[in-house]
Amino acid sequence: MLKTQDSVFLEFDNVKKSYDQKNLVVKGFNIAVEQGEFITLLGPSGSGKTTVLMMLAGFESVTSGTISIRGNSINRTAPYKRNIGMVFQNYALFPHMTVAENLGYPLSVRGMNKTAQRDRIAEYLKLVELDAFGDRYPGQLSGGQRQRVALARAMIFEPTLILMDEPLGALDKKLREQMQYEITRLHEQLGFTVIYVTHDQTEALSMSNRIAVFNDGIVQQCAPPAELYERPANAFVAEFIGENNFIKGKVDRIEGGRAVVSIPGEGTIVAEAAGGLVEGANSVVSIRPEKLFIHPTTHDHDNEIEAKFIARIYVGDFIRYYFRLADGSEIVVKVLNDLSAPEFSEGDTGRLQWLISDSIAFPDQAEMPETMG
Amino acid sequence: MADTMAANPGKRDSGLASEDARNAAKEVRARRMRAFLFVVPLLVFITFAFVAPIATMLFRSAYNPTVAELVPASLDTLKEWDGVDRPSDAALTQFAIDLKRLANDRTSGRLAEEINRFMPGTSSVVKSTARKLRRVEDAELQQSGVDLLIEANEAWANPQVWRALQEAGRTYTSSYYLTALDLETAPDGTIQQRDTKIYLKLYGKTLWMALIITVLTLILGYPLAFYMAHSSTARANFLMVFVLLPFWTSLLVRTTAWIALLQTNGVVNSTLIALGLTRDPLEMLYTQFSTIIAMTHILLPFMILPLYSVMRGIDPSYMRAAMSMGSRPIPAFLRIYLPMSLPGLSAGALLVFIISVGYYITPALVGGTDGQMISNIIAFHMQQSNNWELAAALGSLLLFLIIALYWLYDRFVGAGNIKLG
């Protein structure tokens, strides 16, 4: 996208960052964000996502490249002049000030008069449903309440851009879901732009307009959640986002965007060919556990392989079946917990079936990423 | 319905049977006893090494039995005296008899010393009279003790001497406290100011010097603690070694090092002369200046350590949050960081101030006359003038002063704000 284009609000242009003058932590980050978008930077720890956020906030310098807002570079703008709201993982609420004083801080810094401040504070406390908590100190609030105050404080001076650095990391599962909803609601209601950093993919998938998946300082893929899940650009993204099975094989031939892959000891299967796949090379074929079906099934299928049953784990709403392929690799199948869930005993052989369009053949990278917790 | 109730153990009656309650109480008692045993050695040590000496000091400052034990009969007869004219003949006679007895017991010197404290110059009066009365027969003393006494030294006709004796004879007295506060009892019994103010001036100077030292350690220590708290653990630990280094060398060595630096032909002066900044060497040693500079150096770790440990606990995101909200670094520091570091700051300041108020060794070595503090005068009264009561009174006042300062601090800052780590 061109900088002159009106719709571009925030742009990273080939931004690099090195801390030790030897290694790059961020290796050429590019993104163009539109006004009002909710962008999530997702990646394992140490992937460079927080560094990107810190450069945007102005707490880390940019080694090379340009960060610009509305076409103007902010590389050399002091953090306090950027007018960017920020929510921290530990909330960073000032412990010696009441909730109202915390909210009033950015306003008094801007020289707003006391009455206007009071009105604005009341308005934002109402917005995060903490009307009665203005006189409390942060130490007297629960984790979820602190998070709401931190959100209100980042929004109260009406910045056009709000950064969130793993804001829900310290909350338990239930509160986290509640706050995800809360943040989404405020985002839609107020229309600010959000750059959100997290290592929690569920959080990223449920909240964002677009997700940039980071690994090793590089954006592996930047796409809307559904596309990221359904059409991962490479094996890392396929592995990192959601759960996936990988079957190793060799590409026999590629025809019409589909690869015919021969699996040692299993015959051949057909899958959508990912970019960079060449005939004769090694490949990994990814299939989501919920897209696999165990024979007998009413679902259509294009591929079928046989595998040895290992274990069946009862999860509740669904059942996980573990199978082993001839080459020793494991395959997980997720089956809805209904009457059709089959019974197996150890050593049985099952027939696993799936559609071509549900599987993607990626080039086999020498180093497959480790499974992320 | 009844089935679900029974299946739910949470709904059961939680009341304890009396035996259960007894067992639980026994358990708690046993745990308390064990905990107490752990602190017994320390408790015993503190009682003997800390509580008892302080209690003795407080008692000593007001308890003065020497004269009352030496001449109880004379003090008895003096009770009738109106305190204006010469005491009665009976009193004088009784004192002459007592003094003769003391002279023969060789304890008249102690009496002389005690009375002298209340009326300088009377020591020789008592001693010479005692010498003259030693050989006189008891019967003769009984007969004409008054004349013999006044003949021996006409000072005995002066009612002031008798007042001094009476003062010195009180077993419990506030006079040492009055002296320590530069006050005295006038002949008519009212309390008045002494002509020369020694101790009040010294207390004032001690507090003033302690304040300067506290401020100096704060100015030097705060930025260093800040830097250490914001650098990597490896660098902070490396710097911490330098902060703690003074603790590993003898206090005496460090103070002597300052003597080497500051003396007339010392390092500082020769450098200044070599650089042409001054022609004549500056007089730095044995002044208030040298005391302050050496004590600042010695007490600096006490400021840095609590500051550092508190600052280390302040997450950098607070300053970042303040700046992201549009605050410039210095206002953000003053409004956010400084209040958050206050617990360490008050702990350090209080520690340095209280230690320096009672500091002895450094002013004694490098202070000269100008740089003496209250502890030095207390030591003087204990070692040289042998006036333990006054030393105890001065020490007690120092204790009360520090308690008062702590109370003030608690009023305005709050003792709960102190944090050492």
| 3-state SS class at B60 | helix
Look-up of token digits 């003396």: B263
Report yes or no on A371 lying in a domain.
no
Q: How confident is the model at residue B191 (pLDDT cuts 50, 70, 90)?
A: confident
Residue type for A180, please? Q
Residue B187 clears pLDDT 80, i.e. is over it:
no
Bridge partners of A293?
Answer: A353
Domain shared by A223 and A341, yes or no: no
Minimal Cβ distance to A83: which of B326, B328, B336: B326
Domain shared by A163 and A63, yes or no: yes
Residue type for B62, please? A
- Domain end (from A235, A257, A272): A235
Q: How confident is the model at residue B10 (pLDDT cuts 50, 70, 90)?
A: very low
Task: In chain B, list all ranges with CATH 1.10.3720.10.
Answer: 199-417
Domain shared by A196 and A251, yes or no: no
Report yes or no on A368 lying in a domain.
no
Domain shared by A165 and A115, yes or no: yes
Measured between CA atoms, the residue of chain B closest to residue A84 is B324
Q: For the residues A193-212, what does the mean pLDDT come to? A: 92
Structure-block tokens of residue B62: 């007001």
Q: Count up the domains in chain A and report the number.
A: 2
Please enumerate in sequence order all residues whose Cβ is within 8 A of that of A278, keeping only pairs 6 or more positions apart, or say none. Answer: A251, A254, A363
A80, B329: Cβ pair inside 8 Å?
Answer: yes
Residue B22 clears pLDDT 50, i.e. is over it:
yes
- Domain end (from A235, A252, A277): A235
Backbone angles phi, psi at A18, to 5 degrees: -130, 135
Which of A96, A117, A147 to mutate to test binding with chain B, by most B CBs within 10 Å of its CB?
A96
Tens-digit pLDDT profile for residues B278-313:
888 888 889 899 999 999 999 999 999 999 999 999
Give A247: exposed, middle or buried? Use CB within 10 Å, 0-12, 13-18, 19+.
buried
Structure-block tokens of residue B258: 């300052």
The domain that contains A255 carries what CATH number? 2.40.50.100
Q: How confident is the model at residue A1 (pLDDT cuts 50, 70, 90)?
A: very low
* pLDDT for B52: 93
CATH class of segment(s) B199-417: mainly alpha
Task: Check: CB of residue A285 under 8 Å from CB of residue A359.
Answer: yes
Nearest to B160 by CA among B187, B137, B179, B140: B187
A79, B320: Cβ pair inside 8 Å?
Answer: yes
Residue A366 clears pLDDT 70, i.e. is over it:
no
| % of chain B at pLDDT higher than 70 | 95
Domain containing residue A297: 243-363
Report yes or no on A34 lying in a domain.
yes
Domain shared by A228 and A256, yes or no: no
Domain shared by A186 and A70, yes or no: yes
Give how far B306 is from chain A: nearest CA, Å.
19
Nearest to A58 by CA among A207, A198, A210, A161: A161
Residues of B in contact with A58 (CB under 8 A): 323
Select the highest-mean-pLDDT range: A332-346, B175-189, B348-362: B348-362
Domain shared by A212 and A327, yes or no: no
Tens-digit pLDDT profile for residues B159-169:
888 888 888 88
Backbone conformation region of residue B121, classed left if phi is above 0, alpha if psi is from -120 to 50, else beta: left
Alpha-carbon span B146 to B279, nearest angstrom? 70
Tens-digit pLDDT profile for residues B110-158:
888 888 888 888 888 888 888 888 888 888 888 888 888 888 888 888 8
280-319 in chain B: CB under 8 A from chain A: 315, 317-318
Ranges A14-18, B1-5, B8-12, B61-65: which has the least confidence: B1-5
* pLDDT for A264: 85
| 3-state SS class at A87 | strand
Task: Check: CB of residue A75 under 8 Å from CB of residue A248.
Answer: no
Structure-block tokens of residue A355: 């559609």
Q: Considering all CA atoms of chain B, what is the largest pairwise distance in Å, rounded to the nearest integer?
A: 115
Task: Check: CB of residue B90 under 8 Å from CB of residue B124.
Answer: no
Backbone angles phi, psi at A261, to 5 degrees: -115, 130
Residues of A in contact with B313 (CB under 8 A): none
Three-state secondary structure of B91-115 = HHHHHHHHHHHHHHHCCHHHHHHHH
| 3-state SS class at B263 | coil
A88, B317: Cβ pair inside 8 Å?
Answer: yes
Q: For the residues B376-380, what does the mean pLDDT come to? A: 91
* pLDDT for A158: 92
* pLDDT for B280: 84
Tens-digit pLDDT profile for residues B74-121:
888 888 887 778 888 888 888 888 888 888 888 888 888 888 888 888
Q: How confident is the model at residue A151 (pLDDT cuts 50, 70, 90)?
A: very high
Tens-digit pLDDT profile for residues A215-244:
888 889 999 999 999 889 888 898 888 889
* pLDDT for B5: 45
* pLDDT for A318: 87
Whole-number average pLDDT of chain A: 88
What percentage of chain A's residues is helix, strand, coil (to nearest 5)?
25, 35, 40
Minimal Cβ distance to A80: which of B327, B339, B340: B327
* pLDDT for A370: 43
- Domain end (from A184, A205, A235): A235
* pLDDT for B421: 56
Report yes or no on A372 lying in a domain.
no
* pLDDT for B14: 64
Backbone angles phi, psi at A83, to 5 degrees: 60, 50
| 3-state SS class at B148 | helix
Q: Is the peptide bond before A296 cis (omega within 30 degrees of 0)?
A: yes
Report yes or no on A3 lying in a domain.
no
List, in sequence order, the alpha helices (H) in chain A: 49-57, 99-109, 114-127, 143-155, 173-190, 201-207, 225-230, 235-240
Q: For the residues A282-302, what does the mean pLDDT come to? A: 87
Residues of B in contact with A92 (CB under 8 A): 315, 317-318, 320-321
Domain shared by A285 and A167, yes or no: no
Tens-digit pLDDT profile for residues B241-269:
998 887 888 888 888 889 989 888 888 88
Please enumerate in sequence order all residues whose Cβ is within 8 A of that of B167, keeping only pairs 6 or more positions apart, or say none. Answer: B118, B173, B175, B185
Domain shared by A33 and A111, yes or no: yes
* pLDDT for A13: 93
Domain shared by A202 and A283, yes or no: no
Give how far B221 is from chain A: nearest CA, Å.
23
> CA-CA distances (angstroms) from residue A290 to A243, A245, B324?
9, 10, 44
Residue A7 clears pLDDT 50, i.e. is over it:
yes
Domain shared by A94 and A178, yes or no: yes
B328, A80: Cβ pair inside 8 Å?
Answer: yes
Give how far A156 is from chain B: nearest CA, Å.
9
Measured between CA atoms, the residue of chain B closest to residue A153 is B325
* pLDDT for B318: 94
Q: How confident is the model at residue B12 (pLDDT cuts 50, 70, 90)?
A: low
Whole-number average pLDDT of chain B: 87
Alpha-carbon span B72 to B78, nearest angstrom? 10
* pLDDT for B13: 59
HSE at residue B285, side-chain half, CA atoms within 13 A, is 18
pTM of the model: 0.78
Residue A46 clears pLDDT 50, i.e. is over it:
yes
Tens-digit pLDDT profile for residues B196-214:
888 999 999 999 999 999 9
Q: How confident is the model at residue B417 (pLDDT cuts 50, 70, 90)?
A: low
Tens-digit pLDDT profile for residues A310-322:
888 988 888 899 9
Report yes or no on A24 lying in a domain.
yes
* pLDDT for A6: 62
Q: How confident is the model at residue A368 (pLDDT cuts 50, 70, 90)?
A: very low
Domain shared by A31 and A167, yes or no: yes
| % of chain A at pLDDT higher than 90 | 52
Q: For the residues B62-76, what does the mean pLDDT come to? A: 87
The domain that contains A123 carries what CATH number? 3.40.50.300
Residues of A with CB under 8 A from a CB of B: 57-59, 78-86, 88-90, 92, 94-96, 105-106, 109-110, 153-154, 157, 163
HSE at residue B110, side-chain half, CA atoms within 13 A, is 14
Alpha-carbon span A163 to A155, nearest angstrom? 10
